[in-house]
Amino acid sequence: MEAKVLMINHEKCTGCRRCELVCSVFHENVANPSKARIKVEKWEWEGLYIPMSCKQCVDAPCMNVCPVKAITRDDAQGLVSVDNDMCIGCRSCVAVCPFGAMNFNPMMKKVFKCDLCDGDPQCVRFCDMKAVDFVDVRKESLSKKRDAAFKISEAKKLGATIQYEG
């Protein structure tokens, strides 16, 4: 079985940032969103809220760029991890991540990232809207296909009506 992935549907996000809160408490025992591994980027004036987190990339740029090989990927778990003992705090991974998912802790002088909370991501557990979900990627892909197909069929119907009326 394929490892599960964090899937974000930003349309569902209400912008409450509970994911940031529970992430910081779970990992650091403190309430402090700036230490969260997930962050909701918000365009408040347009009502647009987009949670950003690590995608655990298969060909992970952070892993590829790390000069001391502190970053590795476990294919079975679908998890990219940082070995804190090896990390030299060069922040190459922060620079290269396309999603801004690698963070730097200035106190520890180490990088930190989403570790999927040992298989029970707290952001998923606490998101009432399921804007962040932990899913089997193939199943998700199938259901997305179905949703998209439905939308296309609706659009066709709509197009046909307009043509008919026009």
Partner 1 sequence: MSLDRKVAIVDLTTGKIDIKAIPLAVRKQFLGGRGLAAYLLYNYSKPGCDPLGPDNAVIFSAGILGGMLASASARTDVMTKNPLTGLLGSGNFGGFFAPELRYAGFDHIVVIGKAAKPVYIFVHDGEVEIKDAKNLWGKTVTEAQWAVREELGDPDVKCAVCGPAAEKLVRYANVMTGIKNANGRGGGGCTMGSKNLKMVAARGTMDIKIAHPHEALEFDKRFIEQITSAKVNQTMGVLGTPFIWGATNSWGGIRTNNFQFNQLLNADPIEPEEIDEWSKESMGSEYNMSACFGCQVHCRAKYKIPDTPLARKYGLVGKYDEGPEYTSQGAFNGEPGCTGLDTLLMGNHLVDQYGVDNLEIGSTISWAMELYEKGILTTKETDGLDLRFGNDDAVIAMIHHICKRDTWLGDVLAEGGIRASEKIGKDSFKLLIHMKGMQNLHSDERATPALALNLALASRGSDHLRSRPAIDLYHLPVDVMRRIYSSPVAYDGPLSSDHTEYIGKPWQVAWHENCYMAVDCLGICKYHTTFLGATLPNFEDWAKVLYYNVGLEMTPKDIWDVAERSNMVERLFNIREGMKKDDPFKGEILAERYFTEPCKRGAPDVIGKKIDKPKFLEMRALFYKYKGLDENGVPTPESLKKYGLENLDKEPLRI
* Number of shown-chain residues binding partner 1 (CB under 8 A): 31
Closer to partner 1 by Cβ: residue 44 or 165? 44
Q: Quick one: 1 or 45, whose CB is closer to partner 1?
A: 45
Dist. CA 60–CA 77, nearest whole Å:
15
Stretch that binds partner 1, among 7-15, 80-88, 137-145, 147-155 (CB under 8 A): 7-15
Tokens 């394929």 belong to residue? 2
35 binds partner 1 (CB under 8 A): yes
Q: Which of 1, 44, 67, 164 binds partner 1 (CB under 8 A)?
A: 44
Other CB atoms within 10 A of residue 157 CB: 10
d(CA 10, CA 16): 12
Report yes or no: 113 and 54 within 8 Å, Cβ to Cβ.
yes
Residue numbers 45-64 binding partner 1 by CB under 8 A: 45-47, 49
Residues between 10 and 29 with contacts to partner 1, criterion CB under 8 A: 11-18, 21-22, 25-26, 28-29
What burial letters (b/e) apply to 115-148, b meaning 16+ CB within 10 Å?
bbbeeebbbbeebeeebbbbeeeeeeeeeeeeee
Residue 126 in contact with partner 1, rule: CB under 8 A = yes
30 touches partner 1 (CB under 8 A): yes
Residue 9 backbone phi and psi in degrees, to 5: -110, 95
* Site of interaction with partner 1 (CB under 8 A): 11-18, 21-22, 25-26, 28-35, 42, 44-47, 49, 122, 125-126, 128-129
